[in-house]
Structure 1
């Protein structure tokens, strides 16, 4: 990797989604990141809705003309589309009336070209390697590396939020949602040959909760100067909290999954490691039985024939993450038109 002072060139593939929204904000307001663009896919909601949500979030932080958005895959590679309205609502970002409406011109522009064409052109045009982050199903990434295999050599790190290494899944006994809805895409990505692959599984994300103390901190630190923006974020998080309590019986706040994939890239690039991790072989179960979508992690290194291909994160410095996330939210509030 290059020097610690050099900005990360980051492309985010996502499906906003409450936690994806904060992943966008973290990437947009970290001084170590140059945010190249956003591709969207079906996942938490349909691709049409996740695209609109990405544009609305950028509008809410004053960045809608700075970070391009392209609409990607509307369905998995082989399977029927599955979304998650029970968690994220009918819009994918339910819970607040303060989120700006999607800009129709930018929404139309997001559909003008195929997402993988824009992704490939952007990544290949850079004068150094790019960090690729996925916080939803990996359909777009799988298509990208299949159609444009030369992109793989231009990616210095691929991080993704997904899977479960030791514990249970959140959509089945063994599978996490992002992997479960398109396991074939995830397996393609695991075998693509990226230089550095990092998996941020449920085992880690379930330790980073949006507690009442965190919501109070957002109201206090973000809302000190930008009350409307802080209120919007808190309303989104309260909706997310309530659905997680109803569906998954979480009583201490919902896990803020997706920003951790961005946070990994930021801290790793700076050599300020906030994660414990282990390099191991990871494959994805692509059958149709009870274990479909399981991320099979060779914890003990017993696979003598398969190369180790993924740094599986085991834990994260939760306080360090929240300091970084709150700092980004403060900057997002200062840039937001909601309080102008």
Structure 2
């Protein structure tokens, strides 16, 4: 392939340890899998946008990739206030509140707002830019409403969020990313015209049962990679006592890196419930097939292939197995 044919991607994050793994996977796999991470945009979600951007810089510093530009975006959902959570899963700072003493050079964060930068890059490279969104969809929704002409100019969109069977992880019926900004998810699914790949919460639940926490710590975590060593500290605290590892955002990043990792999927028309008293933020699938399908929904991944990708990203000697 010529360089001009390489995939180019912007990743939108709310870092979050599983976002951090997704970033590491994407940045480590660029050369082997022929794509380029053009930019990283940050949003509210697992933590506030400032902590999220700091965590991105920590990861980039650890692996020597400060060449990738970082932008701060939305600080809150489009309509409602930031939902209150008494005990955020990833801690207040997104990295398990480790009281890190490192110095993060926030001057490296670009001054442009993430929404405007998304527009500039999508517009200038019409049809060429892939998007991987692994937090609330606020930045993309705002970009669509400010600049509706981008709706037809995105190459492909990968999203971690929502649910297939109405199983929630933050409410009875809603997954965290869509629950955090249901209006944003609704705007995205009803406007973008490119192929959408969706990894829902239930798929993450089924995949986690194949990845013991012992493997995560003793095998994957046994490396000199500085980013992984940082994540060892954070996830050692977050997942303490849990039998399985659940890196939801890394699952989605792996699907982007190597689509062959998908064992099964199904196409649906997807929309988001906005007004239900018990179901706000729930993903609604058209099982009647009465509307045009707009999403490829991931059902099952090839676990061993995923684990090999993660080992590769963590600098283990496994390239010959990929």
TM-score by length of 1: 0.84
Contact 2:12–2:135 (CA<8 Å) still a contact in 1? yes
Counterpart in 1 of 2:157? 158
Distance 1:257 1:190, change over 3 A: same
Distance of 1:303 and 1:169 partners within structure 2: 24
State the match for 1:255 in structure 2.
246
Indicate how the Cα distance of structure 1 residues 83 and 317 shifts in structure 2: closer, same or farther if over 3 A, else same.
farther
User: Is the alpha carbon distance of 1:289 and 1:91 closer, same or farther for their aligned partners in structure 2, counting shifts above 3 Å?
Assistant: same
**Corresponding position of 1:240:** 238
Q: Which residue in 1 is equivalent to 2:82?
A: 81
- CA drift of 1:154 comes to 2.6
Q: Residues 319 and 100 from structure 1, CA distance in 2 versus in 1: closer, same or farther, beyond 3 angstroms? A: farther
Could you tell me how far apart the structure 1 residues matched to 2:228 and 2:282 are? 37
- What's the offset of the Cα at 1:126? 3.0
Alignment deviations for residues 230-262 of structure 1 (CA, whole Å, 9 cap, x no partner): 4323222212313xx6xxxxx312311001222
Q: How does 1:274-285 map onto structure 2 within 5 Å?
A: 274-285=262-273
Mapped partners of 2:265, 2:127: distance in 1:
26
Distance 1:121 1:92 in 2: 28
Aligned counterparts, 1:18-33, within 5 A: 18-30=17-29, 31=31, 32=33, 33=35
3-state SS of paired residue (1:314): strand
Number of the residue aligned with 1:338: none
State the secondary structure of the residue aligned to 1:93: coil
The counterpart of 1:44, out of the listed 46, 63, 78, is: 46
1:316 aligns with 2:294: no
Indicate conservation of the 8 Å contact 1:56/1:103, yes or no: no
The Cα offsets for residues 136-176 of structure 1, whole Å up to 9 and x where unpaired, read as 00000101122222323332211110011025110111100
Alignment of 1:5-20 (within 5 A): 6-20=5-19
CA distance in 2, matches of 1:292, 1:330: 41
> How many equivalent residue pairs?
309
Q: Which moved more, 1:118-127 or 1:185-194?
A: 118-127
- Measured in 2, the distance between the counterparts of 1:185 and 1:197 equals 15
Q: Deviations over 1:43-73 (max 9, x none)?
A: 0111111111111211111112x11111000
Matches within 5 A, 1:197-236: 197-206=196-205, 207-208=207-208, 209=211, 211-220=213-222, 223=223, 226=224, 229-236=227-234
Rounded Cα–Cα distance in structure 1 between residues aligned with 2:4 and 2:305: 19
Contact 1:210 1:256 in 2 (8 A): no
> CA RMSD of the aligned region, Å?
2.4
Cα contact 1:79–1:181 (8 A) shared by 2: no
CA distance in structure 1 between the partners assigned to 2:18 and 2:186 by the alignment: 23
Deviation of 1:100 (Å): 4.2
Contact 1:156 1:194 in 2 (8 A): no
Is contact 1:142-1:189 (8 Å) kept? yes
Structure 1, unpaired ranges of 5+: 246-250, 332-340
Bigger mean CA offset, 187-196 vs 71-80: 187-196
Structure 2 length normalisation: TM-score? 0.88
Give 5+ residue unaligned stretches, structure 2.
317-322
Which residue does 1:325 correspond to in 2? 310
SS at structure 2 position matched to 1:48: helix
